[in-house]
Amino acid sequence: MINEKLEKAFNDQINKELYSEYLYLAMKLHFQQLNLQGFVNWFNVQVQEEHAHAMGMIDYLDERGGCCVLEAIDKPVIEGKTILEIFEQVLKHEEFVTSRINHLADVAEEVKDRAALHFLEWYLKEQVEEEASVNGVLATLRLIGDDKKALLMIDKDLAARTFNPPIIG
């Protein structure tokens, strides 16, 4: 049976993962309006990844005899007006998620739950990859500036991204 404090921390993180899915869905819809299908694809992959992250934690709670309690998901807010600003928001959001997964690992350490720590290792590595991916897009966006042809080239590159269902745990 999972520790009550750790179960609450997992439920909090599940809510954050579902919010991430919702935020990236809103961003996907924004890029659909701009007819930038590569960016639409990039965010669609993000939506699928965040959903998989939440489901992995839900399944883990179930395996450990815990209970998942779904809470209301806040309305997503896109803060940026430009593509660069939106991706700066994505990086800020991913850094926040990393801090929350680190907090979840801190709780697992505090209650001496080694199984949970082992489980969370995948999520910690995933966050390194998430931040690196966003930083890569940001670097390219900064490089191209206002060049519309270059923007269409990055859009084409982002269209090639695919979702690979994770093997969590």
The rounded average pLDDT for each run of 10 residues, N- to C-terminus, in the chain (169 residues) is 97 98 98 98 98 98 97 96 97 98 98 98 97 98 97 97 87
Phi, psi of 161 (to 5 degrees): -65, 140
pLDDT at residue 167, as a whole number: 85
For the chain, strand residue ranges (E) read none
pTM to 2 decimals? 0.95
pLDDT at residue 104, as a whole number: 98
Q: What does the block give as tokens for 85?
A: 């600003």
pLDDT at residue 85, as a whole number: 98
pLDDT at residue 118, as a whole number: 97
Distance CA 153, CA 77 (A): 27
- Per-residue pLDDT tens digits for 76-102: 999 999 999 999 999 999 999 999 999
Question: Which homologous superfamily is 4-158 in?
Answer: Ferritin, core subunit, four-helix bundle (1.20.1260.10)
Rg (CA), the chain: 17
Shortest CA distance to 46 belongs to which of 156, 134, 139, 168?
134
Report domain extents, the chain. 4-158
